[in-house]
Structure 1
Amino acid sequence: MAENKHQILLDTLDNKRTEQVLAGFWHHYLSDEKMQVLGYRDQAVIDDVVSRQQRFYNRYHPDFTKIMSDGFFLHPSVVDNTFEVPEDLKKIQRIDVNDPWITRQVAAIKAIVDHYNGEIGSFYNIFSPWYQLRLRFEILEQDTKKIYRFLKEDPLAVANAFAVLADDLIVLSSKLIKESGIDGIYLCVQQPQDSVISTHTWQQFVQPNEVKLLKAVQEVHDYNMIHICGFEGKRNRLGDYKDYPVKAFHWASYVEGVSLKEGKKLFGGRAVMGGFENTENGVFYKGTKEEIQAETKRLLEENGRQGILLSGDCSIPFDTDDAHAGWVSEAANRLNVSP
């Protein structure tokens, strides 16, 4: 091909016409949720995840990657403190720039990106402040309602904690872009999944720090994306994100019932990513080569090609055959031979 896939990725994000539509799929590498949070404290775990992601590239040779943050899910201050009441969130404090959570993370992602030899581009998974605190309560305490109680009882305390986290995530993201070789971050966001929290409360106390984070990272390199997470059927009001300062948008098209074409219009014509259902019920997981490539053709015919990246709605199941991703890339490349 005349262009390498890394440049095609950047051109796609810039919403330019390209000679190829790129496809990328990803899954987690650690099945133990607590290890997703605490793994960064064990260099052997970090090395294992790096090796697994490198081997994934060797087997599949994706058009681009979304690198997983397995082992580094949560900020140390979120993990190391106990939070019984909202006031306890004051315990969340910024960490030193040389904290192992930052230095080991940058080194690990650099090892993964270096393995690509400049052939492809990549994003790196970052959980938003809201997502960080929610996962802390869900993973370490098995309490899915705690974050909603806190936000209802003392929204300012929650917002102040989010401001601290956003500042450190800006530091982390900036170092990753400058030192590891990623093109940008893939910020995971999600609206409250409990009606006790109003849209106004979310807009006033949650949204500002997500926007602050993205605005700062865009100034470092403007190829960042948000992932409006619909994992396990979670729903979001996509339009509430249309003014976020990002280059591209990714959402669960099957969960939200919003196609790539519709989303592209909603988000002002900016680049979009997605298309394939990511569950075990979807054609990407259980389909034959013919079925998966037929779905690839359908997606491109119905949604167009310009400013489009093909992927799953979210992480695909662990045991998905890597060949399936290659079938999508093969079909998309073949379809792009014609005008």
Structure 2
Amino acid sequence: MAVNRRDLIDAVFHNEKTDRIPLGFWHHFLKDETGSDAFSHPELTEKVLAGQADFYKAFQPDLIKIMTDGYFSYPVESLKNPLTGPQDLKDLRTLGKDSDWFRFQIGYAKKLVSLYGKDVQLFYNLFAVPRTIEFMQDTAGHPVDLAEWIREDPEGTAHVFDVISEDYSILAKALIEEGGVDGIYLSVNNISYDRVSEEDYAKYVAPYELKILEAANEAKDNNILHICGYHGFRNHLEWYKDYPFLAVNWAAHVEGISLKEGKKLFHDKAVIGGFGQTEQDLIYRGSEEEIRKETERILTDTGTTGVVLGADCTIPRDTDIRHLEWIRRATEEFVK
């Protein structure tokens, strides 16, 4: 029996059998998604909304990851200045729900929910605190070494993560309860593959990622964890296997961990991905035959229960929509 796209994602996220495999691909809509400031330039949000509308019309995705181009920053001036360590942020305080940082993002979420929420589930992209700090320092031309922060002043670093994650946890809950989104899509990574130990990560980083996920779960237990492997960044995936999420996405091609292997690692949770996400991967340059064969290979290996076909991360902006349609047709033929 055919089900609508909202019900389809519910079924897949709960490892129920379905009559087709959903697809979840997404890309950025601003040229400079990290450095653009939609808080100071609200017109940028209109560009993102227009881009989202074009993509939705062309592709008809089975779920929407709400792209937060223009909202990557945390509006505290001290984070825009060169930072030598967490001591530079020792006086950091939370923003509060009346700030533009909250109001603008909840308003943005509401617009997208009003446009697409009846048809598909929407998941709001949030970055764990280390990524936010790195984005802002990189944009300002002052790359920061958070692994060194943890080595030199772990408690001070944890304090910074705690303060900012408090706002993120409140935002995550408000996006679901007030903004109407179906869940969050929380992006995390190891900070450094070989310079932060599992013990230090568990003590000084993980609690502030878990705070965000747990706040979102209080509102709705329907959230996605993304373990980011963008630009080839490696992660110890096992560090996240007990995080409280309903579905998980990681860079299978970067990590060398297939969807099948990941399902075992993550206690048979629903998985999202399967395809590489760069200009060198099939999603971008493959022929119809190659893409169809790869779709069949992934599903043969992984199975068809609890699987959303997607990519390691955000796909290139100019990816040919026909490539995504080839995947969709191949999945339809596979389940028949």
Q: Is this a same-fold pair by TM over 0.5?
A: yes
The two structures have a TM-score, normalised by structure 1, of 0.93
1:179 deviates by 2.7
Is it true that 1:239 corresponds to 2:244 in the alignment? Answer: no
SS in 1 for 2:140: helix
In the other structure, the counterpart of 2:198 is 199
Whole-angstrom distance in 1 between the partners of 2:288 and 2:181: 31
- After superposition, the C-alpha distances for 1:134-163 in whole angstroms (9 at most, x for unaligned) are 2222222341x4323322221111111111
Is it true that 1:162 corresponds to 2:161 in the alignment? Answer: yes
Whole-angstrom distance in 1 between the partners of 2:274 and 2:34: 30
Judge conservation of contact 1:223–1:246 (CA < 8 Å) in 2: yes
Whole-angstrom distance in 1 between the partners of 2:267 and 2:238: 11
In the other structure, the counterpart of 1:153 is 152
In the other structure, the counterpart of 1:229 is 228
Whole-angstrom distance in 1 between the partners of 2:218 and 2:303: 30
In the other structure, the counterpart of 2:272 is 273
1:78 deviates by 6.8
Greater displacement, 328-337 / 271-280:
328-337
| Distance 1:78-1:63 versus aligned 2 partners, 3 A rule | farther
Whole-angstrom distance in 2 between the partners of 1:32 and 1:300: 35
Whole-angstrom distance in 1 between the partners of 2:95 and 2:68: 18
1:231 deviates by 0.6
Judge conservation of contact 1:77–1:94 (CA < 8 Å) in 2: no
1:33 deviates by 4.8
SS in 2 for 1:76: coil
Whole-angstrom distance in 2 between the partners of 1:286 and 1:79: 42
The two structures have a TM-score, normalised by structure 2, of 0.94
In the other structure, the counterpart of 2:171 is 172
Whole-angstrom distance in 1 between the partners of 2:311 and 2:4: 23
In the other structure, the counterpart of 2:260 is 261
Whole-angstrom distance in 2 between the partners of 1:253 and 1:226: 14
- Amino acid across the alignment from 1:311: G
Is it true that 1:86 corresponds to 2:90 in the alignment? Answer: no
In the other structure, the counterpart of 1:120 is 120
| Distance 1:336-1:220 versus aligned 2 partners, 3 A rule | same
- Amino acid across the alignment from 1:31: K
- After superposition, the C-alpha distances for 1:163-216 in whole angstroms (9 at most, x for unaligned) are 111111111111111233321111000002263433322221011111122122
In the other structure, the counterpart of 1:301 is 300
| Distance 1:260-1:194 versus aligned 2 partners, 3 A rule | closer
| Distance 1:20-1:79 versus aligned 2 partners, 3 A rule | farther
SS in 2 for 1:98: coil
In the other structure, the counterpart of 1:249 is 248
SS in 1 for 2:201: helix
Greater displacement, 222-231 / 319-328:
319-328
1:96 deviates by 2.2
| Distance 1:22-1:152 versus aligned 2 partners, 3 A rule | same
| Distance 1:159-1:256 versus aligned 2 partners, 3 A rule | same
Unaligned runs of 5+ in 2: none
- Amino acid across the alignment from 2:276: E
| Distance 1:79-1:179 versus aligned 2 partners, 3 A rule | farther
- Amino acid across the alignment from 2:32: D
Is it true that 1:16 corresponds to 2:12 in the alignment? Answer: no
- After superposition, the C-alpha distances for 1:114-151 in whole angstroms (9 at most, x for unaligned) are 222511112111000121122222222341x4323322
SS in 1 for 2:90: helix
Whole-angstrom distance in 2 between the partners of 1:53 and 1:23: 16
Judge conservation of contact 1:62–1:325 (CA < 8 Å) in 2: no
| Distance 1:289-1:91 versus aligned 2 partners, 3 A rule | farther
- State, as a whole percentage, how many aligned pairs show the same letter: 37
Whole-angstrom distance in 1 between the partners of 2:189 and 2:79: 24
In the other structure, the counterpart of 1:96 is 96
SS in 1 for 2:116: coil
In the other structure, the counterpart of 1:72 is 71
The alignment of Structure 1 onto Structure 2 pairs a total of residues equal to 335
In the other structure, the counterpart of 2:25 is 25
Unaligned runs of 5+ in 1: none
Greater displacement, 275-284 / 320-329:
320-329
